[in-house]
Amino acid sequence: MTLEESRKMPFVCISGENHDGHSFLEDAIQNGAAVLAGENAEVLETASKKHTDRTFLLVDDARAFLARLSILFYKKTHEKLMTIGVTGTNGKTTVTAYVKSLMTLLGTPTGSIGTTGIISSTGKINLKKSTPTTPESSDLHYIFNQFHERGDTAAAMEVSSVATEQKRVEGIEFDIAIHTNLSPEHLEFHKTFENYKKAKLKLFKQAKKAVVNIDDDGMAKDILDIYSNDVLTYSLDKHSGADVTASNLRTIGHETFFELKVQNESYIVRAPVIGDYNVANVLSAICTALHAGYTIDQILLALPSLEGPEGRFELLTEYGNRKILLDYAHTPAALDNLLREVKKLEYNRLIVLITGIGIRDKSKMPLMAETVEGKADEIVVSVDHPDFNDPGEIIGHVLEGFTNPSAENIYTERTRSEGVLSALALSDENDLILLTSGCINEAQIVEGKEIPHSDKDLIRSYFNDDSVDYDYDYIQA
């Protein structure tokens, strides 16, 4: 887009939790915006009298207006792609990566949008995301356009509950919607679990086909009750009656072998994944490919080459005889699943880093402690994304979940970087260090700023005796 074209772009006043877009009207006008839209009639009327050469639009819902406008501005590019939306509390990032990988292997070049970034079928696109998971609608449709220009014919994306509430995917009729699971999360935004569930269900009201995990008690029945279009179900219980099931799972090295049953036909398959829950995530990708018209024989040929996302059960083994495992598990349910799978690995002692997340609801922080207590030899409690919160207070919320917060094997660190280094320092040869939560975000949100952060860089520097300096000084006081 040229500078002249950008000046013709409308400016839409979005009201957020911390800022009101109407307060930036004058800046937008000075930057050349010719059309300005918003919900505040008084502010718009005052501005229109001052700037008679500009057009001002009063709209009922600025977010919905922005979404519809973005669709028109990018000439409905999303309709040229097969759009696949993934929702759920845990597993969105992994399923999105599996779908992207499997569809691309099958001959449908697919891009992905989510926590790990913007990735086309040909590689990562260097775009700064407007939100951690689902981009704002104007950015989202720009990304769809980028995918199309790079030759992608499908897009798999994480759709968060906050995104549906904030109309970021307004106006998109998804070709396929995928459900993983549901447990309490984002209650700082939704206030109640029921509101959270309703936000998740919205995705299935704007999808042509659905993929549903019927092992999930949180939302599966709700989806099936409201959804009347084409549905494929999946399960790890071969007696569940699901369309696609996996059973007799056996992990060997970094692969899992299992019996795959697709509509009463059985196959012995292998996939390069570890963990029962990751096999379930693979099943969701298989259902997606079946919805897309691929045969099970085609899918089976592609499965051994499946690629997962960075930072999801990512095992580093290059540092002596230690195993270092990176996993984004940041909810009690995800952490519990992860700890179950970790038991299948060989190690001497288990050192686990858990965090309280300053930008998430406080209610789950003690539950993270409850989940890990008694399951690790050493536990480090630290902080992810403190933002404007006191790190010490966040740590305190986590510690409330321990029966004995003063136990000798529980350590606290005020920053993630210090937490990672502490976990490494506690380890010896043949130990397993499990680093959970924000290990893949490439930044920590501190006092409204994004401070660069990389667990992998810290690990490398620790063992190579190099220095990595992250500017956390101003939250140490």
Q: What is the pLDDT of residue 3?
A: 35
Domain presence at residue 281: yes
How does residue 4 score in pLDDT terms, banded at 50, 70 and 90? very low
Given a cut of 70, whether residue 5 has pLDDT beyond it is no
Q: Do the domain assignments include residue 65? A: no
Q: What is the CATH number of the domain that holds 131?
A: 3.40.1190.10
Whole-angstrom Cα distance, residue 375 to residue 405?
Answer: 15
Among the listed residues 225, 222, 254, 458, the one whose alpha carbon sits nearest the alpha carbon of residue 344: 254
In a shared domain, residues 42 and 104: no
Comparing 449 with 188, the larger pLDDT belongs to 449
Q: Distance between CA 87 and CA 243 in Å, rounded? A: 20
Give the pLDDT of residue 477.
32
State the pLDDT at residue 190.
75
Residue 125 sits in the same domain as residue 235: yes
pLDDT of residue 320: 85
CA distances from 334 to 329, 338, 425 (A): 5, 6, 25
Mean pLDDT score, 65-71: 95
Residue 201: which domain range?
72-305
pLDDT at 425 over 90: yes
Domain of 35, CATH number, reads 3.40.1390.10
Q: In terms of domains, do 92 and 226 share one?
A: yes
| pLDDT on residue 476 | 38
CB 154 within 8 A of CB 81: yes
Task: Look at residue 7 in the predicted model and tell me its pLDDT.
Answer: 45
What is the secondary structure of 258-276 as a DSSP string?
A: EEEEETTEEEEEEES--SH
What's the mean per-residue pLDDT of the chain?
90
pLDDT in tens, 11-22: 999 887 667 889
Does residue 474 have a pLDDT over 90? Answer: no
The burial class, CB within 10 Å (0-12 / 13-18 / 19+), for 102 is buried
Same domain assignment for residues 258 and 370? no
Structure tokens at 374: 């008694």
Pairing relation of β-strands 449-452 and 443-446? antiparallel
For residue 392, give the H/E element and its range.
helix 391-399
Specify the number of domains making up the chain: 3
* Beta bridge partner(s), residue 260: 246, 267
More confident call, 464 vs 233: 233
Compute the half-sphere exposure of residue 67: CA atoms within 13 Å on the CB side of its CA.
18
Percentage of the chain with pLDDT > 70? 94
- End-of-domain residue from the set 246, 271, 305: 305
Residues 227 and 349 in one domain: no
Mean pLDDT (whole number) for 406-421: 96
How far apart CA 406 and CA 403 sit, in angstroms, is: 9
- Claim to verify: residue 327 and residue 232 sit in the same structural domain: no
- Whether residues 54 and 97 share a domain: the answer is no
Phi and psi at 474, nearest 5°, equal -80, 0
Contact status, residue 434 vs residue 327, Cβ threshold 8 Å: yes
Q: Does 466 have pLDDT greater than 80?
A: no
Last residue of a domain, one of 272, 305, 338: 305
The answer to whether the CB of 82 falls within 8 A of the CB of 157 is no
Which CATH number fits the domain that encloses residue 400? 3.90.190.20
Separate counts of helices (H) and strands (E) for the chain? 17, 22
- Decide if 67 is inside a domain: no
Mean pLDDT across 397-424: 96
- 244 shares its domain with 95: yes
State whether 21 and 128 are in the same domain: no
Q: Is residue 274 domain-shared with residue 325, that is, in the same domain?
A: no
- The structure tokens 């001002």 sit at 56
| Those residues with Cβ within 8 angstroms of residue 350's Cβ, 6 or more apart along the chain or in another chain | 342, 375, 376, 377, 378, 431, 432, 434
Query: What tens digit of pLDDT does each residue of 111-158 get?
Result: 999 988 899 999 999 887 777 789 999 999 999 999 999 999 999 999
Residue 237 covered by a domain: yes
Residue 107, in any domain of the structure: yes
Helix or strand (DSSP H, E) at 157: strand 154-158
Asked, for residue 239, whether it belongs to a domain, the answer is yes
Angstrom distance (rounded) from CA 246 to CA 259: 5
Residue 263: phi and psi, rounded to 5, are 45, 55
> Among 164-178, 181-195, 299-313, 424-438, which stretch is predicted with the lowest mean pLDDT?
181-195
Residue 421 banded pLDDT, cuts 50, 70, 90: very high
Last residue of a domain, one of 245, 270, 305: 305
Tell me if 112 sits within 8 A of 97, measured CB to CB.
yes
Q: What is the pLDDT of residue 475?
A: 41
In this structure, the answer to whether residues 430 and 298 fall within a common structural domain is no
**Cα separation, 37 vs 155, whole angstroms:** 29
* Cβ neighbourhood burial of 194 (10 Å; 0-12, 13-18, 19+): exposed
Q: Would 42 be classed as within a structural domain?
A: yes
Mean pLDDT of 222-250: 95
Going by their DSSP bridges, the two strands 230-235 and 244-252 should be labelled as parallel
Of residues 359, 347, 355, 363, the one with CA closest to residue 379: 355
Burial of 306 (0-12, 13-18, 19+ CB in 10 A): middle
Band of pLDDT at residue 439, cut at 50, 70 and 90: low
Q: How far, in Å, CA of 330 to CA of 87, rounded?
A: 16
**CA distances in angstroms from 107 to 6, 165, 268, 309, listed in the order given:** 35, 34, 23, 20
Average pLDDT on 348-370 reads: 92
Same domain assignment for residues 356 and 405? yes
For residue 66, is it within any domain? no
Residue 181: which of 286, 312, 92 has the closest Cα? 92
Q: Is 129 exposed, middle or buried (0-12, 13-18, 19+ CB in 10 A)?
A: middle
- Residue of 195, 202, 153, 152 whose CA lies nearest to 173: 202
Rounded to an integer, the average pLDDT of 246-270 is 93
